[in-house]
Amino acid sequence: MSAVGGSVLVGGMLWGKELLNTWRPRRIGIYGASMVGKTTLDQWLTTPGEMEEIPDEGRTTHLKILGKFLMPRATRKRVVYKGDRRVVHSSDIGGEERFWNLWIEDMVNRNVEVVFYLFDKRATSGEDAVDQIGGFRYLVDCLIHRQYRYRKLRARIRGKKYLPKRLMLIANKADEFFDDEASVLWQQGRIGEHTTFDPFRPDLVRLQKAGIPLMRSFMATRIGWNVAETCFDALA
């Protein structure tokens, strides 16, 4: 009789947890340098489907009033994977260096639970690598040292204690560089060893030492490949 009662109790707890996960909004922050796919991901989360290529002139920008850029409003999305649902709140923030401070404001003001940092194959070489690696280093510096100067007193107070529950480093546009090495590592569950993550490894070590859990993943937001799966992994 007690075994039956225990099974019912466990079943009820699991059902309650799934119900909570289905309806409780989760706060995520999507950051990265320009043209890595942040806006495409924001649009896919809003309405999944085939995404169009966003031209250079379509990059995200923000209105500036009295010398300050306005923070975009976070919107509600619902992610579905194998019949399960998760509700997330996120905003679309620009990736140019002048907007990097908004990443930190967004994280702290909304108490973001999971940070998504997107990059693409340009991070391995060329001029664009400077922004992509530099943006990630800026983010890590702010999380570890907490010395960022916030625009509001409330954010400054909260920022002294803020840490995300998890940081997800995502190699986006994977359809452009998913090679034989990636295929083997993917099947073995070792995708984090792929060379595309090499430029970020020094900062990944710093995150580990600071006690910030990290996950790595591949996705291709424009075609919707591995997007929902990555979101569910990050929100587990």
* Degrees to nearest 5, angle at CA 21 with 20 and 24: 70
> Per-residue b/e over 97-116, b at no fewer than 16 CB within 10 Å?
eebbbbbbbbbbbbebbbbb
Pick the CATH number of 25-234 from 3.40.50.970, 3.40.50.300, 2.60.40.10, 3.40.47.10: 3.40.50.300
Q: Which tens digits make up the pLDDT trace of 7-47?
A: 544 444 444 455 556 668 999 999 999 999 999 999 999 99
Q: Which tens digits make up the pLDDT trace of 135-177?
A: 999 999 999 988 777 777 777 788 888 999 999 999 999 999 8
How high is the pLDDT of residue 3?
Answer: 52
What residue segments make up the domains of the chain, in order of their start? 25-234
Residues forming beta bridges with residue 218, ordered by sequence position: 171
